[in-house]
């Protein structure tokens, strides 16, 4: 069964809908690929030639503005699906924020496989709708919430979605301590804030005993209830 046999996200990725025989067939058209931080897998506006499952690591979805700036529009985690099946163009660039491992498929091969396996198509639809729900929720965060509420919501989301390398399932409880895969500038880009505002809000949360910052990227949530209140 090759790499599918020991895949750490098999039980929660879209291929969880497949039986062992179907997994073998999917294995035959896929391959593993490792990415280093800063390395891109897909580029905005190019032909949609690849789709992939994230096995380990965190990657960003980004788009370019008319004046040449990058805007981060999403983040993907282990078991998430990336790329545009049944589409001709890639909507966003996909770049690794950390060391990452992805399971890559030719888009045309994957499209053909999905058409022949309705359970996979159904799972893909479920993932798409869930991602749409998350996007709408994030629109609320960016459009209606204050800087302090955005930072609090961001930290709560990170604590719930980051997965330890090699972990087969999502944690039963959110992480209390975790390493952000973002720089302060990237956090600012994601939240539509300035880097100075992000730094002030982190410092304020630390001073008031809501979080601790053991290192530049490490965060420890000391008072989750208070952080949830601040997230609105």
Residues of the chain with CATH 2.60.120.10: 2-137
Query: Quick check: 61 and 97 in contact, CB under 8 A?
Result: no
CATH topology assigned to domain 2-137:
Jelly Rolls (2.60.120)
The candidate with the shortest Cα–Cα distance to 2, out of 14, 15, 40, is: 15
Between CA 151 and CA 190 the distance in angstroms is: 10
Residue 3's pLDDT is 65
- What does DSSP assign to residue 9? T
The parts of the chain modelled with pLDDT lower than 70 are 1-3, 5, 138, 140-143, 163-174
* Rg of the Cα atoms in the chain: 19
Per DSSP, the three-state class of 70 is: strand
Alpha carbon separation from 185 to 46, 176, 213 (Å, rounded): 27, 23, 17
pTM: 0.76
Residue 71's pLDDT is 78
Between CA 122 and CA 17 the distance in angstroms is: 9
Residue 143's pLDDT is 66
CATH code of 146-230, in short, is: 1.10.10.10
Give the pLDDT confidence of 96-121 residue by residue, as tens digits: 988 999 999 999 998 998 888 888 88
Per DSSP, the three-state class of 42 is: strand
Residue 166's pLDDT is 40
Give the pLDDT confidence of 190-228 residue by residue, as tens digits: 888 899 999 999 999 999 999 999 988 899 999 999 999
């Amino acid at each position: 069964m090759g790499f599918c046999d020991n895949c750490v996200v098999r039980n929660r990725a879209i291929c969880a809908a497949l039986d062992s025989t179907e997994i073998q067939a999917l294995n035959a058209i896929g391959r593993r690929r490792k990415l280093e931080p800063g390395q891109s897998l897909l580029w905005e506006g190019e032909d949609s030639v690849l789709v992939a499952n994230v096995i380990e690591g965190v990657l960003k979805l980004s788009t370019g503005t008319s004046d040449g700036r990058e805007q981060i529009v999403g983040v993907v985690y282990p078991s998430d699906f990336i790329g545009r099946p049944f589409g001709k163009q890639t909507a966003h660039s996909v770049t690794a924020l950390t060391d990452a491992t992805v399971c890559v498929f030719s888009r045309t091969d994957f499209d053909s496989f999905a058409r022949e396996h309705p359970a996979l198509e159904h799972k893909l639809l479920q993932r798409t709708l869930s991602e749409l729900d998350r996007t709408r929720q994030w629109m609320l965060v960016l459009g209606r919430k204050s800087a302090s509420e955005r930072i609090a919501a961001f930290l709560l989301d990170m604590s719930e979605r980051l997965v330890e390398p090699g972990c087969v399932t999502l944690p039963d409880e959110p992480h209390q301590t975790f390493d952000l895969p973002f720089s302060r500038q990237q956090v600012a880009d994601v939240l539509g804030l300035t880097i100075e505002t992000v730094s002030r809000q982190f410092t304020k949360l630390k001073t008031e005993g809501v979080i601790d910052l053991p290192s530049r990227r490490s965060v420890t949530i000391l008072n989750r209830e208070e952080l949830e209140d601040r997230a609105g």
